[in-house]
């Protein structure tokens, strides 16, 4: 690898699979439940977290030597909150309909435990470049699960992807609906996100026995 050393590239690849923040560390579940009923908000949420985590990790890493340890959690919170407000304002100005759909959930990024966890566990102890990679890696790992869950929930719950009717029309009974297929309304409700995440965790652990704890 030319661009990244082996150690650096592990910072990106680890959180995608073997140390995924959602499926292995079981963090950030709340937002995964809330916004994954459709694919589009899942992707916007993933991109927003990517920005907040990438930039936030760098900022915290740059400030790591001047932050007083007594108030470091507050300082971290301020950095997350600032970045989240920036995302929110930019969405409101340039993607208004989307910002309405996501409404409170963008604000909820502040409470996303993955972000504070990475600030505390990684950025406070590492340089900006490595912190950046770590942030990107974890955000991608989070986003990956979000998109997979969003894909299945929208497809099975509403029969659409990005709002396009890929399964046919449920009212006029075209496509699969003509064969007696019905949308699974359960998929739209938040509990199903938990079950889909559970299934992903199940598949992942059955393929890699090393992940199973005793």
Partner 1 sequence: MALNTEKNSYTIIFSIVMVLVVGSILAGLASGLKPLVKANERFEKQQNILYALGVNNNEGANDVAFVSTDNVEQEFAKYITKQYVLQGGELIEDDEAYLIDIKKEETKAKNGSYERRLPIFFGQKDGKDVYVVPIRGKGLWDAIWGFVALDKEMVVTGVYFDHKGETPGLGAEIKQRYFMDDFTGEKFLDGEAFEGITVAKGNNDPKNERKDDHKIDALAGATITGDGVSAMLKKDVKMYMPYFKTLN
Q: How far is the CB of 190 from partner 1 (least distance, A)?
A: 9
For partner 1, which is the closer residue by CB, 92 or 208? 92
For partner 1, which is the closer residue by CB, 75 or 139? 75
For partner 1, which is the closer residue by CB, 67 or 113? 67
Q: How far is the CB of 137 from partner 1 (least distance, A)?
A: 26
Q: How far is the CB of 2 from partner 1 (least distance, A)?
A: 36
Say which DSSP state 177 is in.
G
Calculate the CA 115 to chain-centre distance: 10
Calculate the CA 192 to chain-centre distance: 17
Q: 2: buried, middle or exposed (CB in 10 Å: 19+, 13-18, 0-12)?
A: exposed
For partner 1, which is the closer residue by CB, 26 or 85? 85
Tokens of residue 104, six digits: 């409170």
For 120-124, the CB contacts below 8 A with 24+ separation are: 120/72, 120/73, 120/76, 122/57, 123/56, 123/57, 123/58, 123/60, 123/61, 123/64, 124/60, 124/61, 124/64, 124/67, 124/72
Q: How far is the CB of 19 from partner 1 (least distance, A)?
A: 31
For partner 1, which is the closer residue by CB, 3 or 164? 164
Q: How many CB atoms lie within 10 A of CB 130?
A: 18
Q: How far is the CB of 196 from partner 1 (least distance, A)?
A: 16
Residues that bind partner 1 (CB under 8 A): 37, 65-71, 74-75, 78, 82, 85-86, 89-90, 92-94, 96, 103-104, 157, 169, 171-172, 185, 188-189
Taken in order 139, 101, 74, 58, is the CA torsion positive or negative? positive
For partner 1, which is the closer residue by CB, 43 or 91? 91
Q: How far is the CB of 188 from partner 1 (least distance, A)?
A: 4
Residue 80 to residue 77: CA distance in whole angstroms: 5
């Amino acid at each position: 690898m030319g661009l990244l050393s082996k150690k650096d590239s592990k910072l990106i690849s680890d959180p995608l699979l073997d140390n995924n923040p959602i499926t292995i560390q079981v963090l950030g579940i709340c937002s995964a439940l809330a916004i994954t009923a459709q694919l589009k908000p899942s992707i916007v949420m993933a991109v927003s977290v990517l920005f907040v985590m990438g930039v936030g990790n760098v900022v915290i890493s740059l400030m790591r030597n001047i932050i007083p340890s007594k108030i470091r959690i507050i300082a971290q919170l301020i950095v997350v909150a600032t970045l989240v407000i920036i995302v929110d304002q930019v969405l409101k100005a340039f993607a208004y309909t989307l910002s309405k759909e996501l409404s409170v959930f963008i604000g909820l990024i502040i409470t996303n435990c993955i972000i504070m966890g990475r600030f505390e566990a990684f950025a406070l102890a590492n340089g900006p470049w490595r912190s950046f990679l770590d942030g990107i890696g974890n955000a991608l790992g989070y986003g990956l699960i979000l998109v997979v869950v969003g894909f299945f929930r929208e497809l099975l719950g509403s029969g659409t992807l990005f709002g396009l009717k890929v399964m046919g029309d449920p009212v006029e009974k075209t496509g699969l609906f003509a064969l007696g297929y019905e949308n699974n309304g359960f998929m739209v409700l938040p509990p199903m996100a938990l079950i889909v995440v559970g299934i992903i965790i199940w598949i992942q652990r059955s393929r890699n026995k090393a992940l199973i704890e005793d």
